Amino acid sequence: MKFSAFLLSLLLLAGCASAPRYDTRHPSANHDSRIQFVVLHYTSASLERSLQLLTHGEVSSHYLIGDDPKATIYKLMDENLRAWHAGESQWQGRTWLNSSSIGIEIVNPGFKETPAGRLWYPYSEAQIQSLIVLLKDITTRYAISPRSIIGHSDIAPLRKLDPGPLFPWKRLAAEGFGIWPNEQAVAHQQLQFEVQPPSISWYQAQLARAGYEIAQTGELDVATRHVIAAFQMHFRPSHFDGMPDAQTAALLQVLNQTK
């Protein structure tokens, strides 16, 4: 017994001796937070199903906002861990945003197909209030800029629609979470674009400047229409057909001039 205890102590000492020793007297000031963006989603599922998918499925997020009367905020994982919520994505030249973002899912069915077209589901006031509280906390701690609060459809416009056209981007921007073009400036600029419409190359360049991933083909191809539609759904949710028009051009120009 004594020999076993002695042997164990030697092994522990050997382990300690092999561990690296660090000099921490010279911390670098050259760093920033891993977390640069907040990406917002709807779940397309009930609360029970959303919790199941996000905790035991193939996707995950840092937070989930429920649809109960108080819109409970569920913290599903530590913010320092990489959640699987963004997938193949790009924003402002950064790819695979799982590594640089916090994901927030909101319980919402998304939409259903009807004979009259898609019927989109609204968010509750309690959900938006909970989201504002959560965003205030996150953006304060990580100094995340309003431009860096984005939707899944912004970072993956060829395959995603969430958080959808009924998401209140304008209201969130008024709270300091996201940006919104000045409407008077948009109306003024729209008159000019109605007289002289910009080229498709101009749209592609402006969309890339706004943050979207878009090939500079100079053609109104399928991919370009998807990106235009994603932009319209965010900033002109009443009409997002993916077709370039004077108002869309004005929104783009004013947005890119907004600090």
- Report, as residue numbers or ranges, the catalytic residues: 105
Q: Is 195 helix (H, G, I), strand (E, B) or coil?
A: helix
Count of positions (residues) in the chain: 259
Cis amide prior to 163 (ω within 30 degrees): yes
**Cα–Cα distance for residue pair 234/154, rounded to 1 Å:** 8
If you search the block for the tokens 């998807």, which residue do you land on? 226
Virtual CA dihedral for 109, 112, 117, 123, nearest 10 degrees? -20
Alpha-carbon distance of 180 to 150, in angstroms, equals: 12
Phi and psi angles of residue 117, each rounded to the nearest 5 degrees, phi first: 115, -170
At 13, is the secondary structure helix, strand, or coil? helix
